[in-house]
Structure 1
Amino acid sequence: MHFLWPQLLWLLWAVPLLVLGYVWLLRSRRQPVLRYAHVALVRQAMLPGGAWRRHLPPALLLAALAMLLFASARPQAALPLPTDQATVMLAVDVSLSMQADDIKPSRLDAAREAAKAFVRQLPAGARVGVVSFAGTAQVVQPPTYSREKLLAAIDALHLQHGTAMGSGIVAALSELFPNEALDLGEAAFLPLTAHAPRATPKPVPARRETDAEPAATIVLLTDGRSNFGVHPLQAADMAAARGVRIHAVGLGTVEAPGADQDDWSMVLQLDEAMLREVTGIAHGDYFRAGSAESLLQVYEKMGARLQVQMRETELSGPLALGALLLMAGAALLSLLWCQRVA
């Protein structure tokens, strides 16, 4: 939580001062009240709970004043609010290992069906785009509201050599931020070792409100480890710098026998450590899917999460309303119990 006008919080010191003043006033009135006691006051004091009844209306008024003073500082907090507007980029691994059949009928077919179910689940106000990546990354479908175009784009995914995970992320970012020059040309074919150094991210240009939707998310699906293109951690840095979350789905087993391709056998190694680090940098979540059913469940969970967006919300209005309710309650109780307004 933060405040737009934090200097006004100093006014809250008035509340304990008023409490002290109220206590002093009660003590100063004690003797005169006992000497010239009103019959109604005596009867009220003799009732069960009469003492706390007498103090409750002023206490409610003090609480209302504290809420109003707190609201005057204009507090803001990030609250989960439902939304039907978001931009989601599906980044799908189409490397040759996706033809493995440990997930029936194949990893790619299971990914297609889960992605299509995910698209159908999203609200109509959500824009969705599709990026595929293998040795290079390409935008299969720019962000669109058309579910027909998206389903056709998902069906059109086909296998290629290599796994350029980071390039897939950058290609998705290029669609989310079309006004930025995010070029993959220099890095698209560079081999990537497991310990390759991360390049220092370039400064992010000043962003305009029209550059991307308020809720921009990349959903990454892969079954292996990156061996071409932009370093995934560098790409995650770029996404985090632009406020884009990355959710990742690891498909298949950590190490499983691969599919034969041209008389050679691939060993499929799911780099979960890298995926966890990518999602950690980009403030997303990592999911593991070892079957077609679990993959559908993962996409269902992500779809539900994407329909709730954390938004900076000013709390002054609700606090002021709460203060008014407290004041109304104090006045009502005072009239009922004391035949006067506190």
Structure 2
Amino acid sequence: MSWLFPDFIAAGRLWMLLVVAAMAAAYVGSLTWRRTAQVRFTQVDLLDRVAPKRPRWRRHVIASVQLLGLALAVVAIARPVERTTERTRSEGRILLLFDVSLSMESTDVAPNRLEAAKEAARDFIDEVDDDVEVGLISFAGVVRVEVDPTLDRSRINRRIEGLELDISTAIGDALFVASDLLVSRAEEDPDRDEELAPGAIVLLTDGATTVGRETADGTATAVEAGIPVFTIAFGTEGGTIVDPVSGDVVPVPVAPAELEVVAEATGGQAFEAQSGDQLADAYDQVRDSLGETLGEEIEITKELTWRWAMAAFVALVTAYALSLWWLRGMV
């Protein structure tokens, strides 16, 4: 129904609607003048014999349809258009890699790194454009695909809420799994543009790789697939946790250096966040930067002139046919 309320390429031409309005006013004025100047018959029967088939209301219908046709023609002359936006095909896919290692329970970020990260991640996902698929991968010592890329935001948010901590940190493995998943999903589309990245990775972590593939190996996989990785180093230098086995206080400082290398090598960007607010800001910057990877939204302009011109043609033809039928008595 948006074509009923379009934009216009030549909106200045709509001034001609004033001419149509003036014609309508002149028609109404002529009726008033005719009514006052009309010859009054004293005998109704005589009037019926002189003009047995007066057009009465029919002429008003014809005039109205004619004026409608002219108004529609003016709108057509103004070149109405329908404007929509869409993202280039098969570019919209993001994988969020979420660190759930034990260091994420540090309280250097209130209430702790994990809960602050969950809240910021949910806000980020809610702000991503609706036509962009988002997937979720959690990693500690083991990498888990929590949610395959999907447009169902509520499903991802539920999985984020249910994330639990575990031991170790496997950043290299997480990058490998994420890259493989994005490539596989892209290959499912036979019409995809192979020059475009199969998606983007947003990596949130507070540490460095402790088990599994080296981070450099996972980075190489992403580079080979042409996938940019946006990294967020989350936490402070003073972060600590209590060892669940020994009960000792263990320092868990954030380690941004390795993540900067990942971002630079893959063509992404590296960010650091030492608070929940800074993490939210980092996600905002990531979302703004993703446009270069996922494709900018493009405006589609569809001209609707023919529809309005056709409507005007139909109205004027209808008025002409009615005039032949009602006013001239022709079939």
TM range (shorter): 0.5 to 0.7
Deviations 1:119-146 (A, max 9, x none): 0111111000000110111100010010
CA separation in 2, counterparts of 1:115 and 1:306?
15
In structure 2, the residue matched to 1:115 is: 121
**SS of structure 2 residue aligned to 1:287:** strand
Deviations 1:301-325 (A, max 9, x none): 111222344869xxxxxxxxxxxxx
How far apart are 1:98 and its partner, in Å? 0.4
1:257 aligns with 2:240: yes
Work out which of the residue numbers 212, 223, 233 in structure 1 matches 2:216.
233
How far apart are 1:266 and its partner, in Å? 2.2
**SS of structure 2 residue aligned to 1:307:** helix
In structure 2, the residue matched to 1:222 is: 205
How far apart are 1:261 and its partner, in Å? 2.5
Unaligned runs of 5+ in 1: 1-80, 181-204, 313-342
Indicate if the aligned counterparts of 1:177 and 1:211 stay in contact, CA closer than 8 A.
no
CA separation in 1, counterparts of 2:86 and 2:264?
24
Deviations 1:213-260 (A, max 9, x none): 745110000011111111111111110111100010001113533344
The one-letter amino acid paired with 1:97 is S
Unaligned runs of 5+ in 2: 1-84, 297-331
Distance 1:211 1:94, change over 3 A: farther
Distance 1:211 1:96, change over 3 A: farther
Deviations 1:266-293 (A, max 9, x none): 2213222211111111111110000001
Work out which of the residue numbers 228, 239, 248 in structure 2 matches 1:245.
228
The one-letter amino acid paired with 2:252 is L
In structure 2, the residue matched to 1:298 is: 282
Larger radius of gyration: 2
TM-score normalised by L of structure 2: 0.57
CA separation in 1, counterparts of 2:86 and 2:214?
34
Work out which of the residue numbers 142, 152, 166 in structure 2 matches 1:146.
152
Distance 1:178 1:308, change over 3 A: closer
CA separation in 2, counterparts of 1:123 and 1:87?
10
**SS of structure 2 residue aligned to 1:101:** coil
In structure 2, the residue matched to 1:282 is: 266
CA separation in 1, counterparts of 2:212 and 2:151?
30
CA separation in 1, counterparts of 2:190 and 2:231?
27
In structure 1, the residue matched to 2:168 is: 162
Deviations 1:143-191 (A, max 9, x none): 00101111111112110000001111112112212279xxxxxxxxxxx
User: How many aligned residue pairs are there?
Assistant: 207
Deviates further, 256-265 or 91-100: 256-265
**SS of structure 1 residue aligned to 2:184:** coil
How far apart are 1:82 and its partner, in Å? 8.5
1:86 aligns with 2:83: no
CA separation in 2, counterparts of 1:233 and 1:209?
32
CA separation in 2, counterparts of 1:179 and 1:116?
23
**SS of structure 1 residue aligned to 2:169:** coil
The one-letter amino acid paired with 2:94 is V
The one-letter amino acid paired with 2:254 is L
**SS of structure 2 residue aligned to 1:269:** coil
**SS of structure 2 residue aligned to 1:304:** helix
In structure 2, the residue matched to 1:32 is: none
Indicate if the aligned counterparts of 1:245 and 1:284 stay in contact, CA closer than 8 A.
yes
State the Cα RMSD in Å. Answer: 2.8
Indicate if the aligned counterparts of 1:86 and 1:214 stay in contact, CA closer than 8 A.
no
Indicate if the aligned counterparts of 1:225 and 1:269 stay in contact, CA closer than 8 A.
no
Indicate if the aligned counterparts of 2:135 and 2:149 stay in contact, CA closer than 8 A.
yes
1:271 aligns with 2:255: yes
**SS of structure 2 residue aligned to 1:288:** strand
CA separation in 2, counterparts of 1:91 and 1:211?
25
In percent, how many aligned pairs have the same letter?
29
Indicate if the aligned counterparts of 1:178 and 1:211 stay in contact, CA closer than 8 A.
no
1:12-31 mapped onto 2 (5 Å cutoff): none
CA separation in 1, counterparts of 2:191 and 2:204?
28
Indicate if the aligned counterparts of 2:228 and 2:293 stay in contact, CA closer than 8 A.
no
Deviations 1:28-65 (A, max 9, x none): xxxxxxxxxxxxxxxxxxxxxxxxxxxxxxxxxxxxxx
**SS of structure 2 residue aligned to 1:142:** strand
